[in-house]
Structure 1
Amino acid sequence: MARKRSRNTVAQAAAAVVPAANGLVARAQYDVAGHGRRMRGWRAPSSGPNRAAAGLETIRNRSRDAVRNEWAGAASERVWGTNLVGTGIIARPNSKDPALKALFTEIWNDFCATADADGVLDFYGLQTLAVEAWRTSGEVFIRFRPRRADDGLRVPLQIQLLESDIVPQLDADAWPGLPAGSRIRSGIELDRIGRRAAYWCYREHPGDSPTSAVSHSDLYRVPATEMRHLFKPNRPGALRGVPASAAVLPKLRSVGNFDDAVLVRQELANLYTVFVTRPPETGAPAIDPTTGQPYETDPGSGGPMIGLEPGISQELAPGEDVKFSDPPDAGANYPDFMRQQHLGVASGSGTPYELLTGDVRDVSDRTLRIVINEFRRTCEQYQWQLIIPMFCQPVRDAVARAAVLAGLLTPEQGRDFARCTWSPHAWPYIHPTQDVQAKKMEKEAGFKSRSQIIAERGDDAEQVDADRAEDLARETRLGIAPPIPKGPADA
């Protein structure tokens, strides 16, 4: 019978022991785990995923300020909004019944046109706004707003986007209106088993409040069934989102300050300055031969000693000399320095440098293709892991429930309505001829179906076929249809 090893023996076996050069015994470990001279100043706290987000409000404010006032911050937000949403992530019904599919599409299109509770955007505009708010602030909340039958909406539902400030960083184990056994963490109510049960919200944005101080007594409870939370958890157990640019905000700020300083220096350098020097006065004053009067020597007269005009030939008084200012320039290494800094900003924010700055010099077509493809893989990851499951599909489910309550669909049809295929906006071809040929070869080799290729372009295969058939029928009726190519048997 095998002898059971003691706990100490197991612990000793788990630690690798190696002989040292001086005969002592040293335990193998990562260098970064040491506390010697190299690592002495590196103090990394062991904060949990939510305690690590302390100061989140300051991070959000600085991220928004960078988007407002730093061109790199504004460009990054634009690039991500354009590539993650484009013209919109479209829902396509899965029903095979043409009549039912047409009904589902009609109901959805009617909702999309009036989806915004603020009455400004349609559903696809809200997608872009939600993605930009998520990237800038780290998160955004989606509130479902049921409407009355007399509001004139076919689908009695609208959605409202709420900034992260609406839900404060509130922690409480007891609170008026909090169910027994529940607790509030970071403004989110968790039930006994840790599920999100509700969100505690301000009635209006605290930054727009007429009073300087907003009390937590102004909060009200919104059930989790009426609100969704779009954010990217940075660690397991994280309850709130952190702005995507948090890691590069200090660098972005410093680079912006340096660039502004160089710009001011160049503005000062363009102030063309002339210094006129005169020897000490001795004897009679010098006479201007043009006017026969002494030269102006009173520095308090307020008039220029020498007027500069284009093409002028100025005669100086005897003994006078002219010296020009020699201000410093921007520096020979300024372009390379700024490029290197923006490369770091682009990498830290996940934005391709070429898209962030528009600088494509010395970039080959093949290199650009690699950069764009890697960026698109990241975009697809965000689309299918965050935006669609956290925002798009919950809205579709809420519309299905509202349509059933309004009598537009039966419960069974409502379930079919909720089941759909989401089609993000298709990527444009990097090299149209090669890309189309590659897709054609994939279809002919059996790697992909024609419907799959069409779906990747963001279109509906059935609609494409219907349009093609309609075009062919019209061309045949008008006598302009192209001739059918002959096959080998017809030759």
Structure 2
Amino acid sequence: MGSVVSLKDFKRYAAGKPSRSGGDWRPVDSGINDLISMAGPTVRAKVRQLIRDFPYFARAKRIITDFTVGEGISLQSRASGADGKYNKRLAQQIEDGYRWFCDEADIAGKLHLKEMERLSRDQDTECGEYFYIKTRSKNRNRYVPLALQMYEADWLTTYGAQVKNRNHRIEQGVEFHAETGEVKAYHFTDPNGYGKPQRIEADQVIHGFETLRPGQLRGISPFTPGVIVTEDLKDCMEGEIDGFKYASKWLAIVKSMDPVARQKALTTKEANFLQPIEELENGIIEYVNPGEDVHLMANPRPSGNLEPFVRLILSMLSVSTGVPYELLSGDYHCLNWAVIKVVRADFKHVLKPVSARHIRQNCQPIFRAFMDDAVLSNRLNIPGYFFNPYPYLKAVWQPPVADPVDKLRDVKADIEEMQQNLRSPQEVVAARGRQLEDVLDEIADAKKMMKDRGLTMEEVSTALANNPAALQKD
């Protein structure tokens, strides 16, 4: 006869039942905003210090920025006219104006907009969030008055902040509607003092972060799960390296049959500031007294143990940061073309939502603010823009693309897919970080230059293929 199972046992997960193996584990759970409020400042400080002090943590941050932003995400306007068709002339005007704005976007005049993009991506990794404040410059030589200023996440504060509506609440410096959760304003403290917080309306702030749970107001670093393990691994790695150093440094020890006399001799030597210890390359030789014996030291740490230990550390760090081991360590030995391609493809797939979020939260809001200001300033003549701006805001954002591992194989595969109508030329060119329109324009310009010089494409291609550099490469 089987045991009787109560109905209550069917109503909970096995993981939720108390057990001897679980010990006194009582997980802390609360609202996402309470958790970030309590732990956010400490987590930010720890992640920043690990990035400063631990090379692989810094490399992980740099790799993510390089693969998501690179030199900057490029814009190609796809603005359409009143007839709904692509308007090349207007698109060119928009692109030219936007490039001008990128040169002077920083109100301080120090950073190009693409550099600010990289900085915001770095801040997203370190702090879990970043801030742009829209401001206006009085310099009449600018293309548009609009300018941007970046704020630190640490500047948000609740102390001294006051709401302007009784239905509003303030948490972690963010003022929001208590019923809908709509963000209304941000309260920033003076980073150089303790004055009254500055209240900035939400429509003047670009706030980017990854939303992990509904109702979340602030971001937290994606490296957070790896902070504890990385800090421990960092200490272990430093201890292991120190062990290797000292094991190879100390050459011998002295055994004495008269420890009292030995201690007295050492005291006398120290009192006279004479310590008969000298170094010979990596070995230390210590002079001994009569009756003492020298015992040569053996290195207890053979060098063969270091490499697998470091590899284990980097593998765990790879899991905690989301960066493949091969890219994090730079260790490509014993890898073939297929493995490298799989690693790159997997990492690219992982970063797709990261790049898409960066475009939505960073590129598109800035571009929208630029377009609004350019039309208001009569830099762009677009009748009816504010009635329906979306046809003029159409754009293609091109994230960075890594060079192919084996270009010849990739080209053959692309040609085969295009011949079978499985991929379009636009998709193939975009996968290489370019726009088809730009490539065709460059080809047309090249053909015109050849024609002006009495050359043909076949002659130029043959010359390029047979030049010494190409032959040496082959």
Compute the TM-score of the two structures, normalised by the length of structure 2: 0.82
1:260 deviates by: 1.4
Letter in 1 for 2:13: Y
In structure 2, the partner of 1:344 is 316
Q: 1:162 to 1:330 in 2, by over 3 A?
A: farther
Task: Give the SS at the match of 1:100.
Answer: helix
Listed one character per residue, the Cα deviations across residues 274-314 of structure 1 (whole Å, up to 9, x for unaligned) are 5678999xxxxxxxxxxxxxxxxx9679485999799xxxx
Q: Which runs of 5+ in 1 are unaligned?
A: 1-19, 281-297, 311-315, 485-491
**In the alignment, is the contact (CA less than 8 A) between 1:171 and 1:184 conserved in 2?**
no
Tell me the distance in 2 between the aligned counterparts of 1:33 and 1:278: 62
Tell me the distance in 2 between the aligned counterparts of 1:317 and 1:68: 48
Listed one character per residue, the Cα deviations across residues 21-65 of structure 1 (whole Å, up to 9, x for unaligned) are 324556434320211223343212331121222221001011111
C-alpha RMSD of the superposition: 3.0
Tell me the distance in 1 between the aligned counterparts of 2:4 and 2:437: 77
In structure 1, the partner of 2:129 is 139
In structure 1, the partner of 2:246 is 268
**In the alignment, structure 1 residue 22 sits paired with structure 2 residue 3:** yes
Match of 1:125 among 111, 115, 121: 115
Alignment of 1:259-298 (within 5 A): 259-273=237-251
In structure 2, the partner of 1:48 is 31
**In the alignment, structure 1 residue 443 sits paired with structure 2 residue 418:** yes
**In the alignment, structure 1 residue 36 sits paired with structure 2 residue 14:** no
Q: 1:69 to 1:473 in 2, by over 3 A?
A: same
Letter in 2 for 1:81: T
Tell me the distance in 2 between the aligned counterparts of 1:188 and 1:320: 73
Letter in 2 for 1:432: K
Match of 2:205 among 227, 236, 240: 227
In structure 2, the partner of 1:156 is 145
**In the alignment, is the contact (CA less than 8 A) between 1:423 and 1:456 conserved in 2?**
no
Tell me the distance in 2 between the aligned counterparts of 1:332 and 1:193: 60
Letter in 2 for 1:263: I
In structure 2, the partner of 1:460 is 435
Alignment of 1:181-220 (within 5 A): 181-191=167-177, 192-204=179-191, 209=192, 214=194, 218-220=196-198
Listed one character per residue, the Cα deviations across residues 76-114 of structure 1 (whole Å, up to 9, x for unaligned) are 111101101112111111033333222112101101111
Q: 1:60 to 1:480 in 2, by over 3 A?
A: same
Letter in 2 for 1:376: K
Letter in 1 for 2:124: W
Tell me the distance in 2 between the aligned counterparts of 1:470 and 1:309: 65
Instruction: Between 89-98 and 124-133, report the one with greater CA deviation.
Output: 89-98
In structure 2, the partner of 1:432 is 407
**In the alignment, structure 1 residue 481 sits paired with structure 2 residue 462:** no
Tell me the distance in 1 between the aligned counterparts of 2:70 and 2:278: 61
**Count, aligned residues:** 429
In structure 1, the partner of 2:61 is 77
Q: 1:89 to 1:317 in 2, by over 3 A?
A: closer
1:458 deviates by: 2.7
Listed one character per residue, the Cα deviations across residues 371-404 of structure 1 (whole Å, up to 9, x for unaligned) are 22111012111111x1011110000000011111
Letter in 2 for 1:443: M
**In the alignment, is the contact (CA less than 8 A) between 1:139 and 1:163 conserved in 2?**
no
Tell me the distance in 2 between the aligned counterparts of 1:302 and 1:223: 71
Q: 1:177 to 1:322 in 2, by over 3 A?
A: closer
Which structure has the larger Rg?
A: 1
In structure 2, the partner of 1:104 is 94
Task: Give the SS at the match of 1:218.
Answer: coil
Tell me the distance in 2 between the aligned counterparts of 1:39 and 1:301: 58
Q: 1:317 to 1:153 in 2, by over 3 A?
A: closer
Q: 1:21 to 1:76 in 2, by over 3 A?
A: same
Tell me the distance in 1 between the aligned counterparts of 2:27 and 2:340: 37
**In the alignment, structure 1 residue 359 sits paired with structure 2 residue 331:** yes
Task: Give the SS at the match of 1:429.
Answer: coil
Letter in 2 for 1:240: R
Tell me the distance in 1 between the aligned counterparts of 2:292 and 2:146: 84
Tell me the distance in 2 between the aligned counterparts of 1:403 and 1:260: 55
Tell me the distance in 1 between the aligned counterparts of 2:228 and 2:281: 47
Tell me the distance in 2 between the aligned counterparts of 1:319 and 1:198: 81
Q: Which runs of 5+ in 2 are unaligned?
A: 80-85, 259-267, 283-287, 460-474
Compute the TM-score of the two structures, normalised by the length of structure 1: 0.79
Letter in 1 for 2:437: E
Letter in 2 for 1:476: K
**In the alignment, structure 1 residue 397 sits paired with structure 2 residue 368:** yes
In structure 1, the partner of 2:398 is 423
Q: 1:481 to 1:55 in 2, by over 3 A?
A: same
**In the alignment, structure 1 residue 66 sits paired with structure 2 residue 50:** yes
**In the alignment, is the contact (CA less than 8 A) between 1:262 and 1:330 conserved in 2?**
no
Listed one character per residue, the Cα deviations across residues 338-373 of structure 1 (whole Å, up to 9, x for unaligned) are 322321221121111111111234444323322221
Letter in 2 for 1:355: L
Q: 1:199 to 1:309 in 2, by over 3 A?
A: closer
Task: Give the SS at the match of 2:133.
Answer: strand
Instruction: Between 264-273 and 453-462, report the one with greater CA deviation.
Output: 264-273
Letter in 2 for 1:193: T
